[in-house]
C-alpha cells in the first residue's frame, strides 16, 4: 500500500511567499498521488511559528479551501527548529512518512520524488543535500560552509550541506520522540536515531518572496547551539589547553628561579603584567565555554514543553 505523506512546513512571517508556494506543495502532493507513490490521505501541514503578520489567516483560508491543507499554530514564536519539531510530532501518528521543507521555495520540491523513491527502496531517513550554492551570496556561502566545517571539527555529526529538508519515516519519529532535550539542533540529532539513511541532491534556488530570517547573528547562535548540544569536545579542549598552559607556567617558573639564583633578576613589571593578562584571558574563555554547558543543563533540567499548539485547522 502507498504510504501516507505529510509535508511539514514551518512558517514565520511568510505572508509574502505562502500564497505562491502553498499551491506548489499541493500540486506536488497531487503528482505523487497520481503516480501511485503516496496515498490519497497525504497532507500539507503548515506550522505557524507565532507570526506577527497574516500568515495564520492565510493558512486558515488554505485549510478551508482544500482538505489537503492542514495548519497548526504555535502559541508564540519559538524558532525554526521548534516549529519543525512541532509539525513532525503532530504528524507522526497520522502518517507513514514526513518531509520537512521551508516554505520559501528555496528547496526544490521536485527532489521529493527521489526522496519517496528512496523510502520505498528501504531508507527510513532521506537527507536533502544542496549540490551548489550559486544562488547564495558569497558571504552566506562562506559562512555556511565554515559552519559545517566547524561543526564537523567539533565532533557534531552532520550531513554536509544538508539543512532541514529531509524525509523521516513515522517509525524513526516514534523513536525520535524519546529524545527529550529542549536544545534542538535537528540536523545533528536525526543521525543519532540511526536507521538506514540516504541522500538526495538538489539545487537550491533563491527565496521566491519575503526575507531571510537567518542573519549571521542567528547562524552563529545555531552553530554554538549545535556544537554545545551535540558534543563535549570543547570541554576536552579546555583540559588540553589547561595542561598546555600549566606546562608553560612550569617552564616560566623554572626560568624565573634560575634567573633569581644566578642573580640576573630585573624588576619585571612588563612580564608580570603580560602573564596576568594572559592567564585571566584564558580563564575567561574557559569560564565562557563552561557557562555554555551550564546554561544547557539549566534549560534541560527545567523540562519545559518544547512546543505548545494553540490552534488547529481541524477538530480533534
- Please provide the DSSP assignment of 88-148 as one string: HHHHTTT-SEEEE--TTS-S-TTHHHHHHHHHHTT-SEEEEEES--TTS-HHHHHHHHHHH
Looking at 102, 118, 124, 225, which residue binds ligand UDP (CB under 6 A)? 102
Shortest distance (Å) from residue 99 CB to Mg ion: 16
Of all residues in this chain, which one has the CB nearest to ligand UDP in the complex? 212
Matching residue, cell 555554555: 292
Shortest distance (Å) from residue 256 CB to ligand UDP: 53
Contact flag: residue 225 with ligand UDP (CB under 6 A): no
- DSSP for residue 158: -
Shortest distance (Å) from residue 80 CB to Mg ion: 10
CA distance 67 to 41: 10
CA distance 126 to 169: 9
Contact flag: residue 83 with ligand UDP (CB under 6 A): yes
Contact flag: residue 10 with ligand UDP (CB under 6 A): yes
Shortest distance (Å) from residue 277 CB to ligand UDP: 39
Nearer to ligand UDP, 82 or 169 (CB): 82
Q: Which does 107 bind (CB under 5 to 8 A by kind): ligand UDP, Mg ion, none?
A: none
Q: Rounded to an integer, what is the distance from CA 212 to the centroid of its chain? A: 15
Contact flag: residue 90 with ligand UDP (CB under 6 A): no
Looking at 21, 106, 123, 199, which residue binds ligand UDP (CB under 6 A)? 106
Query: Which string of x and - marks every residue 37-76 that binds ligand UDP (by CB under 6 A)?
Result: ------------x---------------------------
Nearer to ligand UDP, 147 or 293 (CB): 147
Q: How many CB atoms lie within 10 A of CB 221?
A: 12
Q: Please, are residues 12 and 54 in contact by the beta-carbon 8 Å criterion?
A: no
Contact flag: residue 14 with ligand UDP (CB under 6 A): yes
Q: Which helix (H) or strand (E) holds 74?
A: strand 69-74
CA distance 41 to 119: 18
Nearer to ligand UDP, 6 or 96 (CB): 6
For ligand UDP, which stretch binds (CB under 6 A), given 9-17, 21-29, 183-191, 254-262? 9-17
Q: How many CB atoms lie within 10 A of CB 233?
A: 14
CA distance 71 to 313: 5
Q: What are phi and psi of 290, to 5 degrees?
A: -55, -40
Residues lying near Mg ion in the complex (CB under 5 A) are found at 102, 104, 106
Q: Please, are residues 71 and 57 in contact by the beta-carbon 8 Å criterion?
A: no
Shortest distance (Å) from residue 250 CB to Mg ion: 52
Contact flag: residue 213 with ligand UDP (CB under 6 A): yes
Shortest distance (Å) from residue 272 CB to ligand UDP: 48
Residues that bind ligand UDP (CB under 6 A): 10-12, 14, 49, 77, 79-80, 83, 102-104, 106, 212-214
Amino acid at each position: 500500500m502507498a504510504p501516507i505523506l505529510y509535508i511539514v512546513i514551518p512558517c514565520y512571517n511568510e505572508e509574502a511567499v505562502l500564497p505562491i508556494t502553498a499551491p506548489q506543495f499541493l500540486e506536488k502532493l497531487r503528482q505523487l498521488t497520481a503516480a501511485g507513490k503516496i496515498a490519497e490521505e497525504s497532507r500539507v501541514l503548515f506550522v505557524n511559528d507565532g507570526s506577527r503578520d497574516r500568515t495564520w489567516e492565510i493558512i486558515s483560508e488554505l485549510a478551508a479551501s482544500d482538505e489537503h491543507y492542514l495548519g497548526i499554530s504555535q502559541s508564540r514564536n519559538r524558532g525554526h527548529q521548534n516549529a519543525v519539531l512541532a509539525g513532525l510530532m503532530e504528524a507522526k501518528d497520522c502518517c507513514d512518512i514526513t518531509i520537512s521543507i521551508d516554505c520559501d521555495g528555496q528547496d526544490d520540491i521536485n527532489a521529493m520524488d527521489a526522496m519517496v523513491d528512496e523510502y520505498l527502496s528501504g531508507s527510513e531517513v532521506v537527507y536533502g543535500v544542496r549540490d551548489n550554492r550559486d544562488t547564495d551570496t558569497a558571504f552566506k556561502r562562506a559562512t555556511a560552509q565554515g559552519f559545517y566545517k566547524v561543526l564537523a571539527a567539533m565532533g557534531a555529526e552532520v550531513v554536509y550541506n544538508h539543512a532541514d529538508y529531509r524525509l523521516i519515516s513515522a517509525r524513526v519519529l516514534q523513536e525520535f520522540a524519546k529524545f527529550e532535550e529542549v536544545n534542538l539542533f535537528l540536523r545533528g540529532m536525526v543521525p543519532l536515531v540511526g536507521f538506514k539513511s540516504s541522500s538526495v541532491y538538489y539545487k537550491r534556488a533563491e527565496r521566491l518572496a519575503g526575507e531571510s530570517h537567518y542573519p549571521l547573528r542567528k547562524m552563529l547562535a545555531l552553530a554554538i547551539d549545535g556544537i554545545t548540544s551535540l558534543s563535549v569536545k570543547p570541554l576536552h579542549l579546555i583540559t588540553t589547553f589547561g595542561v598546555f598552559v600549566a606546562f608553560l607556567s612550569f617552564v616560566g617558573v623554572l626560568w624565573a628561579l634560575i634567573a633569581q639564583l644566578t642573580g640576573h633578576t630585573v624588576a619585571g613589571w612588563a612580564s608580570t603584567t603580560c602573564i596576568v593578562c594572559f592567564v585571566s584571558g584564558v580563564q575567561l574563555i574557559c569560564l565562557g565555554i563552561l557557562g555554555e554547558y551550564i546554561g544547557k543543563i539549566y534549560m534541560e533540567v527545567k523540562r519545559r514543553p518544547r512546543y505548545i499548539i494553540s490552534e488547529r485547522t481541524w477538530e480533534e
